[in-house]
Every structure is written in C-alpha cells, then in structure tokens.
Amino acid sequence: MSAPSPQKIPVHDVDATKKRIHPRFTDGFYQRIRLISMYALLALFLILPWLKYDGRQAIWFDVPSQHYYIFGLTLFPQDFFFVAAFFIIAAFTLFMVTVYAGRVWCGYACPQTIWVHLFQHVEKWVIGDRNKRIKFDKEPNSGSKISKKLLIYLIWFLMSVLTATTFVSYVAGTSVMYSSWQSLGGIPFPDWPGWVWVSMFIFTFATYANAAYMREFMCIHICPYGRFQSVMFDKDTLIVSYDYNRGEPRGTRKKGTHPEHLGDCIDCTMCVQVCPTGIDIRDGLQVECIQCAACVDACNEVMDKVGYPRGLIRYTTERQLVEKEPSRYLRPRLFAYLLLLSVLVGVMAYALIGRVPLQIDVRGDRNQLSSMNAEGQIVNSYIIKVTNKTQQSHEYMLSIDAPEGLSLVTRFASLPLDAGESYDMPVSVVADPKVLDQKEIPVVFNVDSKDGNYHASRTNVFTSQGQK
C-alpha cells in the first residue's frame, strides 16, 4: 500500500510497551564517526582519574574535605557559582547544537548510548549477530543457554564495577580506591570508607540497570531531553528523515530492476533492524529517534547493492525535504544562542582569570564585639578566616587600613597555611576613645602573602557603641 506524500514530517506517539531490542550492527560513514566519538569519550572517562598535576590527582572532587581540584584550579564550596556557570554554559551549548543538528548528543556522545552499545556488543560476542540473539531468546532454557547468560551477566557486572570504581575515583581519589587494602582471611580486600562502599553499590547498580535492562527506555521515557527536543526543532534543524516522495510506494523487486509503480524503498527493513531504539524511520520523526544515523548507513549500503542513488534516508531538514527549499543554516535563533554563549563564556573566563586564590572573611566576635581594656582603650574583637586557595603552602601577613589611632593586635606575626587550608584567627583592633570622632569607623582588613603574589581584603566596622 502506497503512502501519501506528507505535507509535513509526521511525529508519532510513544509506545510504552517494553520489547527486547536486538539491533543489527552496521558499518558506514556515520557509524565510524560515532564509534570514534564514543570510544574517545569512554577512554577520557577512564584515563582522567589517573592524570597527575603538581603531585596530586589532576581532577579530584574531594567532597570529604570540600576541596575540588581541576588541574591548577582549586575550588571551594563558596566557589559554587563557577560550577553553576559551567553547567549553564553546557546547557546552552546543548540547546544551540540541538537547534542546528538535532539529537546528535544522544546518538554520538551520551553516556547512556555508549554503555548500552558496549553491553549489546557483549551479547553479540557471546551469542552472535542479531538473528542468533533473537533465536537465543526464544529457545527453552538449557545448560548451554544458562552458561552463556551467566557469562554475559558476569561481564556486564564487571563492566559496571569498573564504571563505578572510575566514577567514585573522581571523588574519593585513586589512592583510596586502588591503594588501600586489608586482609580478610588471607584474601586482599579493599579498605574503603563506608560512604565509598555505598557509592560503589549505587553506581554499580545504576550502570547495570540502565545499560543491561532499561536501555532505550531511559532515552524514551525518563530522559527529559527527548521530550523537549520538539520545542527546540524548527524547519531548518538537521534530522534523520526518510524521503517519502522518493521511496514510496515501497516494495520488493528483482535485483537490477526498478518497476515504474514502485519507489526506491525495497522494503528490506534494514533501517528497522539496525535501529537501537527499534523504530521504523519510515513512519516519520519520532521521539525515540536518537539520530545515531545507523539507518542512514544501512540504507546507503542497500542502495549501493541495488544500484540506486544514496540518500533515501539521510540527514536533512523539513524545509529541504517537504518544502523543497534550501535550508537556512545561519538564522537569528542560532546567532542568539551564540551571542548568549559568548557572553557567558566571557564572563566566566574573566572571573576565573581575575580570581585571587586567597580569601578573607571577617566577622565580629559574637560574645562581645566592643569592650574596654585595663588601659582605658576600646577593643573590638574579630575572627578573621583566611583560606589559602592555592595548591602550594604560603605564609600570610595581616594588616589594617584605618584612621590614625586604630591599631591591630594579633597573636601571630604571620600565618603559615598549607595548600587548601583555612584558619580562623582571632584578632583585636584597639583605639584611644579620645581620638574617636564617630561611633562607627570603617576598617579594611588586608591579607598578603609573604612573597607578595596574593592580596585580599575585607571591610568591617570598628564600633564604640556601648562605651562611655
């Protein structure tokens, strides 16, 4: 039955029925790009925890000590706005890419896609290609089937443990994850803190559940990205589409022939067999489509075999496919995202470049801010919190900028701090009441490194209120 030429690309609803999908693995231009991107990101994920910088793990989100190291940058909880800014930039970058090229993130870089692909390859390695896996599912249980299943489950479990171990290494550190051992009955056993064991269980379970069972269900029903993509698409967004006008009516035919009453689609269903989410791209744009372009490569291979032009299924736009007009790749929407991203990146870069890795916080003594000593001087007590945000030890000097007659009294001439260390230092500012001409006087507290490289200051108030 021939399908009418659509006025627009149809969008189909989602079928929530859980079906086991066994995609056929194909090769082609887009699949090679996809494999390179996926395995490069996977290798980056596995290697990064092992990189060292200045004698420390290069990327280490040390949650217990609340120190977050990213190569030469050390962040603290009070620097959270840098993390927030990074995620905002990442989100808007994703939005811009989606407007231009659709769900390429899902097909080429999403961790869910990468791990599902790996888990499915394990099935292929143990059982065989798509037809063998489908037949294997339908076979009654036997010793051979159970042993193969157990082998698959074991490999999946080991892959999940490796994923969890690597993930937790970014927080606990590789030294804790791989160097701390204890002996239980003569058997080496990891000597991990309790929170590490809990984290390992959570991430192992999540990896196994997502990649072994949930698979495309995560992309279709749980991940919000697939839901709001239709809001971001327009007529010029690149999407994987089937050319109805060229392909319909579809039907089988002898090799080397092209019946006049049939289109180019030979109804081989290869596009369906290779789809990791099990959809038929010929039914139109669907929320399940992750734009991996497996159907594009499979269809192009079939077209080459039957002697038809490539591109029956291809990356195209609704404007090109339906309206037969050139796509408008450079459009105001993209420029708006680009301008916004430029501003955000510029502001974040300026903040990072101008960031002084030294912080001072000043607060008045809660017990008694203003008092009078035995010499009749007014004394204000403060707590100065100095934080060394560098990755080296430094010695700091404390001073004040205040009107004549006010002086600083400290316990120490200098304050040595290790990398990332904070210290609450009690200090006092004293003044002769005869020189005070107002009840509140601004005082600037300064902290300078002894080598002169870092300086920070904070203003507080010296008060004589409550004194006669």
Please check whether residues 364 and 346 belong to one and the same domain. Answer: no
Structural contact between residues 186 and 196, judged by C-beta atoms closer than 8 angstroms:
no
Q: Are both 347 and 449 inside the same structural domain? A: no
The tokens for 52 are 């060292």
Pairing of the two strands 285-286 and 358-364 = unpaired
CB-CB contact of 5 with 253 (8 Å): no
CATH number of the domain encompassing residue 410: 2.60.40.10
- Strand 406-410 and strand 378-388: the pairing is unpaired
Both 263 and 277 in one domain: the answer is yes
**Tokens of residue 320, six digits:** 């090109």
Same domain, 333 and 448: no
Q: Does residue 113 fall inside a structural domain?
A: yes
CB 379 within 8 A of CB 372: yes
Task: State the Cα–Cα distance between residues 154 and 220, nearest whole angstrom.
Answer: 27
Q: List the beta bridge partners of residue 305.
A: none
Same domain, 192 and 212: yes
Q: Which two tokens stand for residue 287?
A: 């929320």
Q: Give a yes or no: residue 407 inside a domain.
A: yes
Asked if 339 and 251 count as a contact pair (C-beta separation under 8 A), the reply is no
Residue 460, both tokens: 């507080």
309 cis-preceded (ω within 30 degrees of 0): no
pLDDT at 465: 67
Same domain, 238 and 309: yes
Rounded to whole angstroms, how far apart are CA atoms 164 and 158? 10
Distances (CA, A) of 255 to 262, 302, 323: 14, 11, 32
Please name which of 241, 422, 249 lies closest in space to residue 320, comparing C-alpha atoms: 241
Q: What are phi and psi of 463, to 5 degrees?
A: -125, 145
Considering 339, 354, 369, which residue would you say is the last residue of a domain? Answer: 354
Does residue 467 sit within a domain? no
Q: Which tokens is 226 given?
A: 């697939």
Do 166 and 298 fall within a single domain?
A: yes
Question: Structurally, how many domains does the chain consist of?
Answer: 2
Predicted pLDDT at 10: 52
Amino acid at 267: D
Residues constituting the chain: 468
Q: Same domain for 337 and 372?
A: no
- Whether residue 401 is contained in a domain is answered as yes
Q: Is 78 exposed, middle or buried (0-12, 13-18, 19+ CB in 10 A)?
A: exposed
Q: Is residue 468 part of a domain?
A: no
Do 282 and 428 fall within a single domain? no
Q: Which amino acid is located at 367 in the chain?
A: N
Using the 3D structure, point to which of 354, 370, 404 is the last residue of a domain. Answer: 354
> Tokens in use for 6?
């659509």
- Structural domain harbouring 152: 1-354
What is the C-alpha to C-alpha distance for residues 386 and 458, in angstroms, rounded to an integer? 11
Sequence-distant (≥ 6) Cβ neighbours of residue 289 within 8 angstroms? 103, 239, 240, 277, 279, 281
Asked, for residue 466, whether it belongs to a domain, the answer is no
Tell me whether strands 394-401 and 440-449 are parallel, antiparallel or unpaired.
Answer: antiparallel
Residue carrying structure tokens 């001439």? 413
Q: pTM (2 decimals)? A: 0.81
| Amino acid at residue number 182 | Q
Q: What is the spatial distance between Cα 13 and Cα 359, in angstroms, rounded to a whole number? A: 54
274 within some domain: yes
Domain end residue (candidates: 334, 354, 374): 354
SS3 sequence of the chain: CCCCCCCCCCEECCCCCCCCCCCCCCCCHHHHHHHHHHHHHHHHHHHHHHCEECCEECEEEECCCCEEEECCEEECHHHHHHHHHHHHHHHHHHHHHHHHHCCHHHHHCCHHHHHHHHHHHHHHHHCCCHHHHHHHHHCCCCHHHHHHHHHHHHHHHHHHHHHHHHHHHHHHCHHHHHHCEEEECCEEEECCCHHHHHHHHHHHHHHHHHHHHHCHHHHHHHCCHHHHHHHHCCCCCCEEEECHHHHCCCCCCCCCCCCCCCCCCCCCCHHHHCCCCCCCHHHCEECCCCCCCHHHHHHHHHHHHHCCCCCCEEEECHHHHCCCCCCCCCCHHHHHHHHHHHHHHHHHHHHHHCCCCEEEEEEECCCCCEEECCCCCEEEEEEEEEEECCCCCEEEEEEEECCCCEEEEECCCCEEECCCCEEEEEEEEEECHHHCCCCEEEEEEEEEECCCCCEEEEEEEEECCCCC
Model pLDDT, residue 325: 86
**What Cα–Cα distance (Å) separates residue 80 from each residue in 68, 75, 346?**
10, 8, 18
Residues 291 and 415 in one domain: no
Any domain includes 67: yes
Are 374 and 454 part of one and the same domain?
A: yes
The segments of the chain whose pLDDT lies below 70 read: 1-18, 230, 367-368, 465-468
- Per the CB < 8 A criterion, the answer to whether 426 and 383 are in contact is yes
| Same domain as 313, residue 451 | no
